[in-house]
Amino acid sequence: MAELIDAGPAALRRSPLAHLEERMRAAGVTGERGVSLTEWPFITMVSLRVDPASAAAGRIGSVLGAPLPDHCGQTAQSGPHTAVWLGPDEWLVLSQGDGPELAAGLLDALAGDPGSVVDVSANRTTLELSGPSARRVLEKGCVLDLHPRSFGPGRAVATQVGPVPVVLWQTGDTTYRLFPRSSFADYLARWLVDAMSEYQGPEVP
């Protein structure tokens, strides 16, 4: 008699871009003009609102292992957690940890003070664009000045790539992570694959 196995909901979930995995892999380019696109699904994301001058903000910083960033473009990273500044009293917390557990810890840190903590992990997915040509691909449709004099590793802002609103985080010299809403992820991935296509051939003098 066959044994019934309870896979559980985690085993049944499907990322927003699973159907484009092979297409994104095939679009990758190696060498001096190299660029690649990969989805990092199921990263924990928590939306946080709190007065940055409050005692609750200090307690939340203790939970995260670093004070909340206090100006546009700044991130604060400690261990598996990264807090991204989105507004004067708003942050997106990214983590490799357990979403419900992190949200519960942040909610406990509020201790009844004004603010909100919401697990929004299902609201967005994560795309990583990397390689020597990554910045040039983004520059085809991003309104930001991405030159290293203005934007570099550790910087993260809410912006737009093509027609899609995203949170854009530069994690390394040639590596960027984009956080689109799940409903826009298919469009953005296809836009990026198309923008990458010119680097598959030799550079035109």
pLDDT at 3 over 80: no
pLDDT, residue 1, reads: 43
Task: Tell me the mean pLDDT in the region 139-148.
Answer: 95
pLDDT at 6 over 60: no
Q: What is the DSSP string of the chain?
A: -PPP---HHHHH---TTGGGHHHHHHT-B-STT-BEEEE-TT-EEEEEEE-TTSHHHHHHHHHHTSPPP-STB-EEEETTEEEEEEETTEEEEEESS-HHHHHHHHHHHHTTSSEEEEE-TTTB--EEEESTTHHHHHHTTB-S--STTT--TT-EEEEEETTEEEEEEEEETTEEEEEEBHHHHHHHHHHHHHHHGGGGSPPP-
Q: Between these two residues, 1 and 97, which has the higher pLDDT value?
A: 97
User: Are residues 97 and 80 in contact, defined by beta-carbon separation less than 8 angstroms?
Assistant: yes
User: Are residues 150 and 101 in contact, defined by beta-carbon separation less than 8 angstroms?
Assistant: no
For the stretch 9-18, pLDDT in tens is 666 678 999 9
For the stretch 103-133, pLDDT in tens is 999 999 999 899 999 999 999 999 999 999 9
d(C-alpha 84, C-alpha 125), whole Å: 15
How many other CB atoms are there within 10 angstroms of residue 38's CB atom?
16
pLDDT, residue 13, reads: 79
* CA 74 to mean position of chain CA atoms: 14
d(C-alpha 18, C-alpha 39), whole Å: 8
pLDDT band at 205 (very low <50, low <70, confident <90, very high): low
Give the domains, in start order, of the chain with CATH numbers: 44-119 (3.30.70.1520), 124-199 (3.30.1360.120)
Average pLDDT in the chain? 92
For the stretch 158-187, pLDDT in tens is 999 999 999 999 999 999 999 999 999 999
d(C-alpha 94, C-alpha 104), whole Å: 15
For the stretch 61-119, pLDDT in tens is 999 999 999 999 999 999 999 999 999 999 999 998 787 899 999 999 999 899 999 99
Residue of 104, 103, 96 lying closest to 119 (CA atoms): 103
